[in-house]
Amino acid sequence: MFTGLIEDLGTLRDIRTGADQARLTVATGLPMAELTLGESIAVNGVCLTVTSFADGAFSADVSPETMGCTTLGQLARGARVNIERALRLSDRLGGHMVTGHVDGQGRIVERRKDGNAWLFKFQTDAVVSSLLVAKGSVTIDGISLTVNEVSEDTFSLAIIPLTLEKTTLQDRNVGDDVNIETDLIGKYVARFLQDGPTVKPQGVTMDLLAKNGFL
């Protein structure tokens, strides 16, 4: 579990792809002494498992499915990436609840200055868009952000200067793809409203009373 508050801008030092897996090596300013094998780290919003670390960098294995359904497969050596370590129960939840499980991709279709902020507009598919609400939370490349407006297949965000400076959004331009994770609570609410509860309440019946020794 993550918060969507980026801890560090890392750099993709190496990417090795094979027939059935890929391995990323990311250089980071995170303290190596605090890392452990098997811990979770979000890279551009994708939850990965640390398989090794040394000399200011960590490596993680990535499955073909993850490479295909996220933007990790588009990264090249030298690309900057957003990094966040997993949430500790003692931490402040400054962003929102983020799982690191990407729901889909979006493409930047507009980027313009808007007062003291930058307005980004993204195009995505109708399934992802249906899980977004104005003033609700969304994660873009691992960054916890607030939705401004939503249409059938687009949504917009206002990015303050500090967020732009501390994340890879400073590198993003019209035509670039991003990872999108919609709000966790919203997904469960949407599923419940669509399908209803999986276990139907039965109420108190004579059979229930007999089964529990009341008759």
Is residue 12 within 8 Å of 24, Cβ to Cβ?
A: yes
**Looking at the domain 8-85, which fold is it?**
Elongation Factor Tu (Ef-tu); domain 3 (2.40.30)
> Which of 37, 10, 41, 42 lies closest to 26 in space, CA to CA?
10
Percentage of the chain exceeding pLDDT 70: 92
Which residues 6+ apart lie within 8 Å of 215 measured at CB?
206, 209
CATH code of the domain occupying 104-195: 2.40.30.20
Q: What is the pLDDT of residues 50-82, one digit of tens each?
A: 999 999 999 999 999 899 899 999 999 999 999
pLDDT band at 120 (very low <50, low <70, confident <90, very high): very high
Burial 195-214 (b: 16+ CB within 10 A, else e): eeeeeeeeeeeeeeeeeeee
Tokens 């303290």 appear where?
31
Q: What is the pLDDT of residues 186-210, one digit of tens each?
A: 888 877 777 665 555 556 677 766 7
Write down the domain spans for the chain: 8-85, 104-195
